[in-house]
Amino acid sequence: MIVQEYSSHMVWGTGKTYLYKALLANIRSRGLIALATASSGVAANNMLEGRTAHSRFKISLNHDNNSMRNIKKQSGTAKLLRDAKIIIWDEASMAKRQTVEALDRTMQDITGVTLPFGGKIMVMGGDFRQVLPVVRRGTRAQIVDSSLRMSPLWSSIKKIRLTLNMRARSDPWFSDFLLRVGDGDEEMMEESFIRIPDDMAIAYADKDKSKHDLIDAIFPSLQINEADSNYIVSRAILSTKNENVDEINDQLIDRFCGDEKVYYSFDEAEDDINNFYPMEFLNSLTVRGLPPHYLRLKIGCPIMLLRNIDPSNGLCNGTRLISRGFQHNVIDAEIAVGQHAGKRVFLPIIPLCPFEDNMFPFKLKKKQFPVRLSFSMTINKAQGQTIPNVGVYLSESVFSHGQLYVALSRGTSRENTKVLVKSAKNFNRDGVYTSNVVYQEVLRD
């Protein structure tokens, strides 16, 4: 029998992580094996002995509808999966359905049981209002098709369903507003534009002044509080694109006190035997998922890890840290959030390549510390994170399902959530309006 609990209302303040921890503690206290996994490193860090699904299930980045996981029946991983009493998979809505289906086939193969997931108890958590699996340059139809909701397994997955209600939050009005945004039920203008509540909106005058107003609202008295780690990690500004994030990070590191340490990357085109691509050109490239060539840091500033270095000790892609010291080849940092918060770690320079092999007509290799500043981050990167004081900078409208909902739902109340919008359209009404993209087909049962 498969028992699966899938919440469609799980965000900050509803008790999702508490529920997972209680299940894990109860089952492990009986001497049984309970595996904790998540689609992102940030979510995995919230659970004791949590691992990313890619790490736990040997998931490759490229797979199709008939793929299976690279797990041999005689391997230690296969034995662990056979012996597991329960498997928890948080943020499963972020995983492509092909990934979950491949795990289903693999579990049936290694257990010899022809029930869904080999008859194992699967507890899957997530929220389809949030950002869906990423399909590079994918159409709406392709993105929807990759969703777990479109899988033949969905009828089994939703057999037993537990809903944790957002109204458990301390601000019921804010919870109701978020649900309307996530469901696409908030009143709209011209099909997709919704009004941001006046007390959450920051008026847009000109680009520089408006950004400074947003920074002041989210990071008040920064120079007085910059030594307070709790102050630093409890706030961030989210935006849709990396270039906006980089601009805000540069402005905030300028405001930060202390001596600046700059690390320069060494970039090369590995297969460029004729030296067609000069070093200056390679240094100028801004690549998704890679650190900048010019990495500016100061003691006490927040940074985010960009690679899975040591998942079992909390060093996952997306882990937020506080920089504590700088050496020539090592950064001394302190993990700021999750079950490993407070642990001191040393981050080395490592060779890094883009996630997409076909991004350039050459193979780019960058040697740099795998971190970037995290005063600001992209909306997609913030999914699964709790940020009590959140700013949202929308110089351009959101462009994919759930982005606005994810951005707004990182905060804990309307008082602690501020939104700056450069309007794409002018309406003959007062107020600030921005686009809200919702794919209704993934919200219907």
Q: In what order do the strands lie in the sheet with 364-368?
A: 266-269, 364-368, 350-352
At residue 44, the pLDDT reads 84
Encoding tokens for residue 31?
């001497």
Structure tokens at 358: 């076909």
The whole-angstrom separation of Cα 146 and Cα 96 is 5
Amino acid identity, residue 406?
V
Q: What letters, b where the CB count within 10 A reaches 16 and e where it falls short, cover 332-343?
A: ebbbbbbbbeee
Residue 12 is predicted with a pLDDT of 44
As a whole number of angstroms, the distance between CA 232 and CA 368 comes to 24
Q: Are 383 and 91 in contact (CB under 8 A)?
A: yes
H/E/C letters for each residue in 100-137?
A: HHHHHHHHHHHHCCCCHHHHCEEEECCCCCCCCCCCCC
* Mean pLDDT, each 10-residue run in order, the chain (445 residues): 37 68 93 92 83 80 59 88 93 90 91 92 89 86 92 78 57 86 90 91 88 95 92 94 93 93 93 85 88 95 92 86 95 91 95 79 92 94 87 92 93 90 80 92 82
- What per-residue confidence (pLDDT) applies to 431? 87
Residue 374 has which token pair? 């995290």
pTM score: 0.88
Place of tokens 């929807």: 144
CA 345 distance to own-chain centroid: 22
Closest-CA residue to 318 (of 329, 330, 332, 308): 308
pLDDT of residue 175: 85
Q: How far apart are CA 80 and CA 360, in angstroms?
A: 40
pLDDT at 59: 73
Q: Which residues make beta-bridge pairs with 35? A: 87
In this prediction, residue 5 carries a pLDDT of: 38
Contact 241, 339 (CB under 8 A): no
Domains, the chain, ordered by start = 16-168 (3.40.50), 172-201+388-442 (no CATH), 205-378 (no CATH)
- Predicted confidence at residue 362, as pLDDT, reads 86
> Would you say 34 and 28 are in contact if contact means Cβ atoms under 8 Å apart?
yes
> E-strand spans in 170-293?
188-189, 193-196, 201-202, 235-239, 260-264, 266-269
